[in-house]
Structures are given as C-alpha cells and as structure tokens.
Chain A
Amino acid sequence: MKICITSQGDSLDSAVDPRFGRCQYFIMADSDSLEFEAVKNPNMDSMGGAGIQSGQFISDKGIKVVLTGNVGPNAYQTLNAAGIKVVIGMSGTVKEAIEKYKKGEIKSTDGPSVDSHFGSGQ
C-alpha cells in the first residue's frame, strides 16, 4: 500500500515533520517493500491554503494513508474528501513511523488536531 509520511528530510532516517501542509518533504513509500520516493513539498511557503494544496498534492499521487504530527481543519476536510486515512501524533524517524503503522499500533484520526495556521509559524 502506498503511504505518505511528512518528513524533515529526504530519507527514511529523517525525522517526521510534525506539520502537514507546510512539511519539508513528503516521503511516499510502499509500506511492504519500503521502496520510497522523497518529494520536496511545493506548498511549504504557500501564502495560504497550504494544507488544502498539500492534501490535493498527495491525493493526486494516489496516497491512501498519511502519517504526520498534526493536521488542521482545512487539510483534514481535504484528506477526508479524498478518502485518505490520517494518522496523527507521529514522531521519531520516518522508518520508525512506518514500522509503528505496520504493527497496527496506531489508528487514524476522525478530526483535525490543531487549528488553522498551526504550521505557518505565525
């Protein structure tokens, strides 16, 4: 299954980025083979609506599950409409996050975890 982890770097050893919309990288990985592609987030410095754009972006890439720290209301609404499961509260490395997810230790959220503009540094 194709899952996406928000990351601060471009490898499996990078730390999970706690922000969704304005994370630095999206690691798009196959949860079984661990084959992955790291994509720099084009919406990192977006003027506004970064969560919506990032939701649209990973939806267009065929992602089914996203592992991250927090999501805001607009991002959650977008991901929900796209049928993407959202797992929040992730920390540690990207690899650890994938392992946790595979062991079934975590479950998806049914709502946003932070307010709008949480990750915009304002």
Chain B
Amino acid sequence: MIISIASGKGGTGKTTVATNLALSIKNAQILDCDVEEPNAHIFIKPKIQEKIFVFIPVPQIDKTKCNYCGKCKQVCMYNAIAILNKTTLVFAELCHGCGSCTYFCPQKAIKEVDKEIGFTEIGYGSTSFITDLQFVHGKLNIGQAMAPPLIRAVKKHISSTRVNIIDAPPGTSCPVIESIKESDFCILVTEPTPFGLNDLILAIEVLRKLKIPFGVIINRSDLGDNKTDEYCQNQNIPILMRIPFKKEIASAYSQGVPIVEVLPKYREHFKELFRRISNGEFN
C-alpha cells in the first residue's frame, strides 16, 4: 500500500504527519521524496546502511561524426542543445535525460554519459519504540534542477509487502506529481488560514486529475478561521484529523521529537486513521 502526504502550501506539517503516521503503525516504510530539502530524518533519526548515487544520461557529441544537421536540437523539448556555425552546444543542466537526441541522430554521433544529480540513502528507524521502520530519502546535489529522476530513484525502493508512506514536496508542480502518482491514498495537510486554503484547493485539483482518493488533516486547527472546514464540507471532502496548536507539540517539534513520543495518545489516533484509510472508508 502507498499513502502519500502532500499539501500545496509549504510548512503545513507534511513531515510531521508522515513521520508520526510511520511511527504509529507496523511494517511501515517512509520515503522522503522532498529531495530538495529532505527533513524526515530529523524526526526518524535513521541508521543509514546504504548510499546510492543517482545519475541521468546526458548527450555527448562526437565532433568527428556530427554534421550539424540540427535533428537533436529539433527533438529536444527542453532547449538543451544549440547548433551555431560549426559548434554543437549541450547544456547539461537543462537536459532531462529523455534520450531523444541520441535516438534520432542520423549520424549516430551522440553517446550518453552519466551525470550525477544526487543520491539516495536507505536505512531503518532507530527510535527505541519502533524497530521495523524502513527509511529512504533522496538528496539532490546543489545546483541541480532535476528533482523527478531522483524522486523516481527513491520510489524504486517502494516495497510491495510494506505500508509505504511518501513525504511529498510542497506545491503542485512536477516533483509533487512524480512523488504522489500511483498512491492508493493521499493525505493533504493544511492549516486553517486563507493561505492554507488557497493552496489546498490547488492540490485538490491535482488529486482529482490524478484520480487519487484523498482526505484532509487540519494542522494547528484551533487557529485561523473556519473557511477550510466549510470548503471541505461543501466539497464532501473528509477531514481525517485535527491537530491543535499545542505547546507540547510545538516544543517537541522544535527539538525534532515526534508528537507520538510526547503525547502517546496520538499513536492511537494515527493507528485509527491508518485503519480507516486501509479499509477504504474515505475512497
């Protein structure tokens, strides 16, 4: 089973929900797909066992074979190739590694070479009360713009025998789609403010397009206004949980301690949430 945690707006509590859910249930695996700024490891404190470097193929042009026909430039959707006078320029940082240029080159003048974009790390949760939690995250190299290939590398570790919990990046663009697609259920975390609601609506549009069932967790639920509640009611969107703005929670968060460690009753709340999701009660 795959449950993803997304939000639209940043800073609403995706990682809080993903890590606490993962720490509350048996046989879970958490996959932090926010590869530009992964932070689930702060709560999980995993023991890393393996580090795997991730590469994308970028074109290298054999100048002795290239006749400057321009086919590679024409098929590149990402404007990563320019042909000027007798020079073929490759802009590797714009390349998505799709391979079209190599495939279509009539002169067979293009060879693909590996470019490192980042790495994944695999380990297990070391928190005392849970021992079977598997952990995977990806870290994009500084200066790299291409998150989706690295997210795919993280998602390769999805296990068919575990409950896979995906911590998605914020927003609604390519990295989010790559992270949440193929999920069985998506939890959207929001806060009850005009900003939270604005971005929640964008995320809901994405999930409806992708046909992924979803529900909403309202974090810091006793702040802000009731517009988010009203919206969810009108749209028949289930509100899965409310997490209040509590000093114990904020204080634990500020020290990188999961909620379930300071308020154990939340483990029951998250267990119950998981039970209802896996029973298909919100589909």
Please name all residues of chain A whose beta carbon is closer than 8 Å to the beta carbon of B84 when the two chains form the complex.
55-56, 59, 78, 81-83
What 1/0 flags go to A50-71 for Cβ under 8 Å of B?
A: 1011011001000000000000
A104 to chain B, nearest CB (A): 26
In this complex, how many residues of chain B approach chain A with their Cβ under 8 Å: the count is 12
**Are A49 and B83 closer than 8 Å at their CB atoms?**
no
Please name all residues of chain B whose beta carbon is closer than 8 Å to the beta carbon of A47 when the two chains form the complex.
78-79
Residue A8 lies at the interface, judged by CB distance under 8 Å to chain B: no
The one of A50, A56, A83 that contacts B83, using a Cβ cutoff of 8 Å: A56
**Are B82 and A48 closer than 8 Å at their CB atoms?**
no
The one of B79, B82, B83 that contacts A46, using a Cβ cutoff of 8 Å: B79
Residue B94 lies at the interface, judged by CB distance under 8 Å to chain A: yes
Please name all residues of chain B whose beta carbon is closer than 8 Å to the beta carbon of A74 when the two chains form the complex.
91, 94
In this complex, how many residues of chain A approach chain B with their Cβ under 8 Å: the count is 16
The one of B85, B87, B94 that contacts A49, using a Cβ cutoff of 8 Å: B94
A88 to chain B, nearest CB (A): 19
**Are A49 and B80 closer than 8 Å at their CB atoms?**
yes
* Given A49-B78, A49-B80, also A56-B73 (CB < 8 A): yes
In the bound complex, how far is the Cα of B173 from the Cα of A48, in angstroms? 15
What 1/0 flags go to A76-96 for Cβ under 8 Å of B?
A: 011001110000000000000
Residue B69 lies at the interface, judged by CB distance under 8 Å to chain A: no
Residue B113 lies at the interface, judged by CB distance under 8 Å to chain A: no
In the bound complex, how far is the Cα of B93 from the Cα of A74, in angstroms? 10
Residue B42 lies at the interface, judged by CB distance under 8 Å to chain A: no
B63 to chain A, nearest CB (A): 13
Please name all residues of chain B whose beta carbon is closer than 8 Å to the beta carbon of A55 when the two chains form the complex.
82, 84
**Are A82 and B78 closer than 8 Å at their CB atoms?**
no
**Are A81 and B87 closer than 8 Å at their CB atoms?**
yes
Please name all residues of chain A whose beta carbon is closer than 8 Å to the beta carbon of B89 when the two chains form the complex.
52, 77-78, 81
In the bound complex, how far is the Cα of B92 from the Cα of A74, in angstroms? 11
Residue of B nearest to A83 (CB): B85
The one of B73, B85, B91, B94 that contacts A82, using a Cβ cutoff of 8 Å: B85
Q: Beyond A48-B94, A52-B94, A82-B84: 10 further Cβ-contacts under 8 Å?
A: A46-B79, A47-B78, A56-B84, A59-B84, A59-B85, A77-B91, A78-B82, A78-B84, A78-B89, A82-B85
Residues of B participating in the A interface, judged by any CB pair closer than 8 Å: 73, 78-80, 82-85, 87, 89, 91, 94
Can you give 17 contacting A-B residue pairs, CB < 8 Å? A48-B94, A49-B80, A49-B94, A52-B82, A52-B94, A53-B79, A53-B82, A56-B83, A74-B91, A77-B91, A78-B82, A78-B84, A78-B89, A81-B85, A81-B87, A82-B84, A83-B84
Complex A-B, nearest 10 residue pairs according to Cβ-Cβ distance, in ascending order: A49-B79, A82-B84, A81-B87, A81-B84, A56-B82, A78-B82, A49-B94, A52-B82, A53-B79, A59-B84
